């Protein structure tokens, strides 16, 4: 760790350095916001710099923090000290909600990037855009990681930061906002599996202490998700297949996951034949329908596969190259509409085959926060056989073994670097990989 940090102004220009601190804590987190704290002797220059500055960055790390708390403590006995606290700029995501209904029907990474762009980079309402004091754009999108995991869902009004974290936890990704020259850049990324090459154990003299926890107090493995409709006409879809005494159920009210979307959203997700897709408008006894000559339903569990096959027999069940499972049906209506020539903003109502996977996704996302939790916390000897930032990093999967023989492949979800009069320390938090 270097012995100084840069202070930046609101336009991301470096305006000075803080150095010679008494202590520093630098905490990075894979899914949630990191933070930092610097404790240094108070001088008029340091106070002026901290008060004027907006951001903190280290020359040897990619996390940028916003200064959110400055405390000046004066003491005739111990001297005057300045405490500067900052929070990861990823907190920008927490400052926005998903303003309008946004539909995912395709790649999850593309969906997540769209949510960030719509909220902070190119929003419909200019006031929502993240800009610097000079009026220039503050946030951009870094190049996509190229993840191919599929997603089928619609989201409205949820906090953006919470939604990005939910997506990342679902697929094992991390998110970060780093500085790219004069702008900040949002990206999704994935840690590297180093479980066969990076080991932490007392026998290797690189593990100082561990805290191993098994928590079975929050178990919930089946969800009934209630979507559109009222009473007996309400559409409800189960998620989860656990049986018997091991089954723990909950109800999720998802009325905000409307089965009504706009015509534009429908044909964006499922293009017309004229646009290279499989969709066309056909007349029915009561109005019109959007019919797909070929439609692939994402299958999330075996019980759903049986339900879909019973309701829409004759389909083909297959696995895609990206690992997703699908049930392909032909000549199926996926929405009802009122006109043969709908306008972009006209409402259409999804049928069961297109709507139910959205409810199931909500159910499984909710269940992801429950279940048996197994975690390791540990303090690592920082400068032995494996070096943080060189041999392993935040988000990576490594192997850890306690003195009691408990061995597991674990993901590094948090790393706290600290330095004071006692030296430099690295304290990671590990999360068990199922």
Each domain of the chain, given as residue ranges in start order, spans 4-87, 96-189, 199-216+372-432, 257-362
Confidence at residue 434, expressed as pLDDT on a 0 to 100 scale = 58
pLDDT > 80? residue 226: yes
Confidence at residue 268, expressed as pLDDT on a 0 to 100 scale = 87
Top mean-pLDDT range of 98-107, 160-169, 206-215: 160-169
Stronger pLDDT, 219 or 323, i.e. the higher one: 219
Confidence at residue 49, expressed as pLDDT on a 0 to 100 scale = 93
Least confident of 4-8, 45-49, 293-297, 421-425: 421-425
pLDDT > 80? residue 322: no
Confidence at residue 321, expressed as pLDDT on a 0 to 100 scale = 67
Confidence grade of residue 64 (pLDDT, cut at 50, 70, 90): very high
pLDDT > 80? residue 373: no
Share of the chain above pLDDT 70, in %: 98
Confidence grade of residue 284 (pLDDT, cut at 50, 70, 90): very high
278-289 CB burial, b ≥16 within 10 A, e <16: bbebeeeeeebb
pLDDT > 70? residue 92: yes
pLDDT > 90? residue 422: no
Q: Judge whether 186 and 141 are in contact, CB under 8 Å.
A: yes
Rounded Cα distance between 333 and 92, Å, is 41
Q: How much is the mean pLDDT over the chain?
A: 90
Confidence grade of residue 2 (pLDDT, cut at 50, 70, 90): confident
Confidence grade of residue 77 (pLDDT, cut at 50, 70, 90): confident
Confidence at residue 21, expressed as pLDDT on a 0 to 100 scale = 87
Cα–Cα–Cα angle for 434, 154, 240, nearest 5°? 35
Stronger pLDDT, 190 or 3, i.e. the higher one: 190
pLDDT > 80? residue 131: yes
Mean pLDDT of 53-82: 92
Structure tokens at 208: 């100082």
Q: Which of 270, 252, 249 is nearest to 261 (CA)?
A: 270
* Region label for 75, one of left (φ > 0), alpha (ψ between -120 and 50) or beta (otherwise): beta
Confidence at residue 180, expressed as pLDDT on a 0 to 100 scale = 95
Confidence grade of residue 132 (pLDDT, cut at 50, 70, 90): very high
Stronger pLDDT, 212 or 133, i.e. the higher one: 133
Convert the pLDDT of each residue in 175-213 to its tens digit.
Answer: 999 999 999 999 999 999 999 999 888 778 787 777 777
Structure pTM? 0.75
pLDDT > 80? residue 133: yes
pLDDT > 70? residue 323: no
Strands (E) located in 229-307: 236-239, 249-253, 260-262, 279-284, 287-292, 295-298
pLDDT > 80? residue 390: yes
Strands 249-253 and 222-226: parallel
SS3 309: helix
Cα–Cα–Cα angle for 144, 148, 152, nearest 5°? 110
Least confident of 73-82, 131-140, 398-407: 398-407
**Eight-state DSSP code of residue 416:** E
Share of the chain above pLDDT 90, in %: 65
Tell me which architecture the domain covering 96-189 has in CATH.
3-Layer(bab) Sandwich (3.55)
pLDDT > 90? residue 280: yes
Confidence grade of residue 433 (pLDDT, cut at 50, 70, 90): low
Least confident of 50-59, 104-113, 270-279, 341-350: 104-113
């Amino acid at each position: 760790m270097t012995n100084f940090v840069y202070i930046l102004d609101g336009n991301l220009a470096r305006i000075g350095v803080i150095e010679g601190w008494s202590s520093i804590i630098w905490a990075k987190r894979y899914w949630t916001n990191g933070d930092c704290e610097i404790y240094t002797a108070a001088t008029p220059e340091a106070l002026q710099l901290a008060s004027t500055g907006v951001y903190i960055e280290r020359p040897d790390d990619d996390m940028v923090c916003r200064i959110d708390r400055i405390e000046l403590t004066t003491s005739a006995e111990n001297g005057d000290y300045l405490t500067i606290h900052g929070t990861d700029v990823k907190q920008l995501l927490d400052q926005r909600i998903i303003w309008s209904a946004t539909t995912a029907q395709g790649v999850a990474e593309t969906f997540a990037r769209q949510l960030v762009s719509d909220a902070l980079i190119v929003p419909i309402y200019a006031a929502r855009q993240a800009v610097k004091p000079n009026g220039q754009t503050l946030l951009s999108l870094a190049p996509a990681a190229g993840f191919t995991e599929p997603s089928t869902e619609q989201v409205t009004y949820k906090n953006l930061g919470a939604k990005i974290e939910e997506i990342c936890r679902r697929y094992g990704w991390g998110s970060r906002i780093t500085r790219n020259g004069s702008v900040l850049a949002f990206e999704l990324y994935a840690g590297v599996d180093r479980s066969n090459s990076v080991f932490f154990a007392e026998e290797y003299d690189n593990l100082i202490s561990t805290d191993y926890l098994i928590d079975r107090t929050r178990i919930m493995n089946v969800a009934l998700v209630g979507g559109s409709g009222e009473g007996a006409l309400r559409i409800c879809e189960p998620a989860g297949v656990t049986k018997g005494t091991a089954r723990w159920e909950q109800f999720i009210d998802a009325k905000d996951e409307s089965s009504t979307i706009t015509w534009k959203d429908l044909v964006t997700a499922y293009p017309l034949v004229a646009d290279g897709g499989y969709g066309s408008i056909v007349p029915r006894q009561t109005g019109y329908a959007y019919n797909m000559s070929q439609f692939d339903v994402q299958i999330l569990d075996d019980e759903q596969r049986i339900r879909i096959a019973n309701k829409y027999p004759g389909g083909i069940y297959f696995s895609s190259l990206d690992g997703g499972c699908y049930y392909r049906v032909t000549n199926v209506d996926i929405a009802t509409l009122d006109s043969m020539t709908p306008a972009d903003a006209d409402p259409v109502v999804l049928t069961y085959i297109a709507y139910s996977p959205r409810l199931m996704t909500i159910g499984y996302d909710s269940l992801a926060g429950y279940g048996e939790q197994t975690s390791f916390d540990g303090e690592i000897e920082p400068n032995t056989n494996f070096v943080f930032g060189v041999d392993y990093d935040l988000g990576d999967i490594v192997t850890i073994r306690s003195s009691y023989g408990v061995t597991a492949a674990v993901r590094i979800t948090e790393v706290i670097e600290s330095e004071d009069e006692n030296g430099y320390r690295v304290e990671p938090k590990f999360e068990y990989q199922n």
